[in-house]
Structure 1
């Protein structure tokens, strides 16, 4: 990434970055075309125990692994993971190389590539347009993101195919901060899901925002 202002923003701790990305345009161009969302909901995640921003709700809490390596930098890349055996989710990586942090993009409004996003729904399923990118799994599906994109770089803030790569990601922060509300993160169990970590931000009154759900403890068979 060569965009100095965006790189400077993404080099900061995720709880500082996340609310400033509400209203940002986040896009992904594939061979099928370009889909862009306006980010309406986002969560921040920190680093391992003993770091300057320990986060018991983060994948990085127990240190680097093959799975979470992208969360340890450099900034300006994406971290993609697979969860619940069915969904992908995408994070925008923050902090300098070696320092873990990222912002999970939870929801967005599809503002470009609407027909392509609709076509990526599971066969036979229907969803109103407000729900196409509501929730991290739906957002990743709308944007055509899977594990093959883990670690991919963001473009310099321009659309791929314009001044960036023909295929790939771009991120363009808003010119002015969006109005926001914060609260506990969705579905995070243990200490990381408590009010002490109000690291979920969303645009109030926005119909694309996903409903808050507490973590449900898993019962052992």
Structure 2
């Protein structure tokens, strides 16, 4: 399946769950860095008070959300960068924030990019993940993922043993209804999930023994 079809083939919350266990990679030009997606957040566009496109807000800063399905929306807060992918049809500004990955490729370089951080601290948050990948600008904002150094493997994935749906992070100050929507998804017990406490870590990292 191609990216545009995939990112418009189902409701955004369903796609956010299907992304769990898929390999996200970044090609630095020298090596491939990346890992398995373990945490996503769905943002449902113009009606979602927690979305950057709420009310149809549109500017050069969030234009990526209005692109065709599979367009990258990379934004920054302070010194950190965040990785979103637009979903649904062009001009229907919904998207998915990739919050964390379980590192599997180029781990040594990612540790260098994170100034020696190891274990879950390497990539257990959206800003940490992008820093680990070496992303220091919005250079690929508004680009279609298939035309960028980023890739998501749509041919196979690890299967979560149990997917947890929870409230999104950092939006409690907004509309109580939307802040309370359970639109953040992750495999139960995966240590690389941004809010996962050590006592809940699972030996299988939250994956089934078999995958497809």
Cα distance in 1 between the residues matched to 2:14 and 2:59: 25
Equivalent in the alignment of 1:217 = none
| Consecutive unaligned residues in structure 2, runs of 5 or more | 197-212
Question: Tell me, what secondary structure is at the counterpart of 2:45?
Answer: coil
User: By how many angstroms is 1:86 displaced?
Assistant: 1.6
Structure 1 length as normaliser, TM-score?
0.79
Range moving further from structure 2, 182-191 or 6-15: 6-15
CA separation in 1, counterparts of 2:33 and 2:157? 21
Q: CA RMSD in A?
A: 1.9
Which of 163, 182, 201 matches 2:165?
Answer: 182
Q: Does 1:59 align with 2:40?
A: no
Runs of 4+ in structure 1 deviating by more than 6 angstroms, as ranges, are none
Structure 1 residue ranges without an equivalent (≥5) = 49-53, 156-164, 213-221
Output the CA distance in 2 between the equivalents of 1:93 and 1:144: 22
- C-alpha separation in 1, matches of 2:38 and 2:192: 7
TM-score, normalization: structure 2? 0.82
Match of 1:194 in 2: 179
Contact 2:50–2:179 (8 Å) recurs in 1: no
Q: In the alignment, does 2:134 pair up with 1:149?
A: no
Q: Deviations over 1:9-42 (max 9, x none)?
A: 2013321210010001111102342101100011
How many residues align? The count is: 189
1:190 match: secondary structure: coil
Is residue 103 of structure 1 aligned with residue 96 of structure 2? yes
| SS of corresponding position for 1:141 | helix
1:100-179 counterparts in 2 under 5 A? 100-122=93-115, 126-145=116-135, 146-155=137-146, 168-173=149-154, 174-175=156-157, 177-178=159-160, 179=162
Hey, what's the Cα distance between the residues in 2 that align with 1:56 and 1:32?
Answer: 41
The secondary structure found in structure 2 opposite 1:115 is helix
